[in-house]
Structure 1
Amino acid sequence: MHILVTSPIPSHPQNHGNRARVTALCKALQTAGAQIHYVYGGLESLSAEQEQEMRAEWDFVYVLPLLRTKDRKQSFKSHHAIDDWYVDALGDVVRKILDTWRIHYCIANYVWFSRWLSDVPAGIPKLIDTHDIFADRHARLKADGIAPSWFSTTPDEENIGLNRADTVIAIQDAEAQEFRTRTKSNVATLGHFIEPAFMAPRELDKNTKLTIGYMASDNPINQQSLEALASGLSKQPGLQQKFNFVLAGAICNGPAAQSDAFTKLGFVKDPASFYRDVDVVINPNVGGTGLKIKSIEAMAYGKPLVATRDAMIGIATGADCHDLETPHDILAFLDQKVSAEKLMEITQLSKTIITDYMTEQQKTLATLFPELPHLPNSGTKE
């Protein structure tokens, strides 16, 4: 079975949430018996190493030339038209693939990179993996005190893209509910995929300082969240006597990360090595939309997670450690409530939540791709 996947972003390395999402879904499909035709649309620069990694990962890889930042259109002063960042060459590549191979499913990553779906022959299921809601995205960022960046459009423009698909994939339920009010297409929620790999807790004695870890990309939302965390630590120097605060990922490059309160690891190629060396994972995210992949990842490693409410959107939990309002509240929780007994409780909570979560994702995957040969309750096809 062959599945055609297009993406404006590369799949490798997985140092941003959107790359992790693209890779995880494609790997889940591959594991279930599909061969992946991955068409990279050239929105970001691509090193030779990145291209080599993608070619090693996917069955077929097609790379389009770089779309330089200066060549990205914005048709309106306040927003983009839905196809402003679309690359015409993508349609040419897709047509050749469809003419050459028997493609069973077509998946466009991002609604604003979906125009090619309009030319897919009838009978081939067409899906859009939305990643996020892009209607009024800049307004939402401004409301959270974050400078607008990347792509933003209007509901009417976004609807044009959504209606190209047979099925629109939302990454969490709140976004699925909104999409259902705006598109005639079927809408399904399909979250992140990660194979749980629970780690044993580190051995600690009563005199050992706990290591608190935060791994994140350097997007504006994460940077603002880290600034608030650094501000809180500067006002509570006693916390550094109780805890070691460790950062990993591109977040280390921002100004807030230069605080003496943090130990910076930089880019970590193997996330498992980071999680193995921390006792508690935090996600201080405030604002933004979509699904916070790092929250899912931390629980998949069986680590106790302390997070804001925003960092847990789309993840079923009612726990106090996942319902904090601000980064300052995270610090207060660590200071006042974290004990050996509490850590055991939160660790078990992570394992329970991620196990239930992944069961739901597998069920949805089987529903969306019933022809995949190696999924529970799926059919078989040569």
Structure 2
Amino acid sequence: MSDASIQQGVKHGRKRILFVSPLNVASNNGMMQRQIQILNFLNNSDVDLELLSLYSSPSEVNEWLDELKIKASALNGFFAILVRLIGIAWYGGNVILCNKLKWIDAFHFPIRIPAPRRLLDRYDRIVCYYPWGFPLLGLDRAGAKVVVDLGDVMADRHDRIGTRRWISLSKEDESAILNSNARCIAITRDDQGEFQRLYGLTLPVIPFLPPGYAQLRSLPPSIQARKVGFLAALGYQNEEVVKALASEEFLACMQAAGIELLIAGGICAAIPEHLRAAIQKSGGQVLGRVANLEAFYSQVGVILNPVGPSTGVKIKSVEALLAGRGSSRRNMELMRNCWSSSQIRSPC
């Protein structure tokens, strides 16, 4: 955004907003849907909006914004490039040291790159999606103008989910964010309760609402009562869920009951051929990526929604309710990398 446009914004009293996030425009998961929800809200407000991506390049972000018809632009220049490189290095380095080699217990911040004061002062509001950009950029210095959409409870996350995947912050780092002057937001009542238990703080909740919620609500009642769907992004937890769903016991029960299992989303790319063949042999389908949510939900009557950390339960529960589809919630708790197909009860 040029200096002229900034001056124009001041002249007309338009607020300037900076959206900071580990935005990966190539993904299409719950994280992405939440970010689109936030950006659409900001886009519908009378603001000048800029994005600082800690992953995708400014050119990639601008192209993505154009596709979504969001009136915003990616922050560019030396600082934006430096932040992106450090963000990628921070994430990759912690994945290796914490998740792979297990040399450290949580993601740390050995290198921080505080945003220049003139950059912080430029904006009326800074919206930080996911917490780790907050300490990385020293956003505590911006005080109450910062809003942090926490996304998940990340303190000691590896212990809670039972495996070293994704980001796990130390309780001290997460507490520092929550006890700063920033306004922190939880995405569900369950997360709100967990933050209350851990830190004694009651956070406001802004629930997830999928960008295409109007289309989901307009879907006609399903006549596919015997079709059960599982929609998931590519990821370790979902790979383990598919292994359980494709077990001989579960598929035999589905087939005997005349229930067809439909699996869709990025997870389909990770399904081994022998599991894919077993699903299809039982009368199920592996659909792959779908063009949009309506294309999937219009084919099923019930959504299989695993309950457990990092299974997308927050996102998929809302989608199923909006689409008027039943949601069969099953406890598929990951226990130290051991999944048991017996945890999935018969849908019959």
- For Structure 1 versus Structure 2, the TM-score category normalised by the shorter chain is 0.7 to 0.9
Query: Which secondary structure state, in structure 2, belongs to the residue aligned with residue 139 of structure 1?
Result: helix
Query: TM-score under structure 1 normalisation?
Result: 0.67
Corresponding residue pairs, total: 301
Verify: 1:173 aligned to 2:186, yes or no.
no
Match of 1:112 among 105, 120, 132: 132
Question: 2:346 is matched by which residue type in structure 1?
Answer: A
C-alpha separation in 2, matches of 1:238 and 1:23: 36
C-alpha separation in 1, matches of 2:119 and 2:147: 17
Change (3 A) 1:2 1:193: farther
C-alpha separation in 1, matches of 2:41 and 2:332: 26
Verify: 1:22 aligned to 2:35, yes or no.
yes
Instruction: Name the residue aligned to 1:260.
Output: 278
Match of 1:155 among 167, 171, 181: 171
Please report how far the alpha carbon of residue 114 of structure 1 lies from its aligned counterpart in structure 2 after TM superposition.
0.4
Change (3 A) 1:331 1:222: same
Pairing 1:1-382 to 2, within 5 Å after superposition:
1-10=15-24, 12=25, 15-42=28-55, 51-55=62-66, 56-62=69-75, 64=81, 65-66=84-85, 67-68=88-89, 70-72=92-94, 74=97, 77-83=103-109, 88=113, 91-92=115-116, 95=117, 97-99=119-121, 101=122, 103-115=123-135, 116-120=138-142, 124-142=144-162, 147-180=163-196, 187-194=203-210, 195-196=213-214, 197-198=216-217, 199-203=219-223, 210-231=226-247, 233=249, 236=252, 239=255, 242-255=258-271, 258-261=276-279, 262-288=284-310, 292-308=314-330, 332-333=346-347, 335=348
Please report how far the alpha carbon of residue 82 of structure 1 lies from its aligned counterpart in structure 2 after TM superposition.
4.6
Change (3 A) 1:222 1:87: farther
Unpaired segments ≥5 residues, structure 1: 312-325, 336-382
Query: Which secondary structure state, in structure 2, belongs to the residue aligned with residue 149 of structure 1?
Result: coil
Aligned-residue sequence identity (percent) comes to: 22
Query: TM-score under structure 2 normalisation?
Result: 0.72
Query: Which secondary structure state, in structure 1, belongs to the residue aligned with residue 297 of structure 2?
Result: helix
Query: Which secondary structure state, in structure 2, belongs to the residue aligned with residue 332 of structure 1?
Result: coil
C-alpha separation in 2, matches of 1:192 and 1:310: 22
Unpaired segments ≥5 residues, structure 2: 1-14, 334-339
Change (3 A) 1:27 1:179: same
Q: CA RMSD in A?
A: 3.4
1:37/1:60 contact within 8 Å kept: yes
1:3/1:106 contact within 8 Å kept: yes
Question: 1:104 is matched by which residue type in structure 2?
Answer: D
Please report how far the alpha carbon of residue 274 of structure 1 lies from its aligned counterpart in structure 2 after TM superposition.
1.3
2:239/2:267 contact within 8 Å kept: yes
Please report how far the alpha carbon of residue 192 of structure 1 lies from its aligned counterpart in structure 2 after TM superposition.
0.3
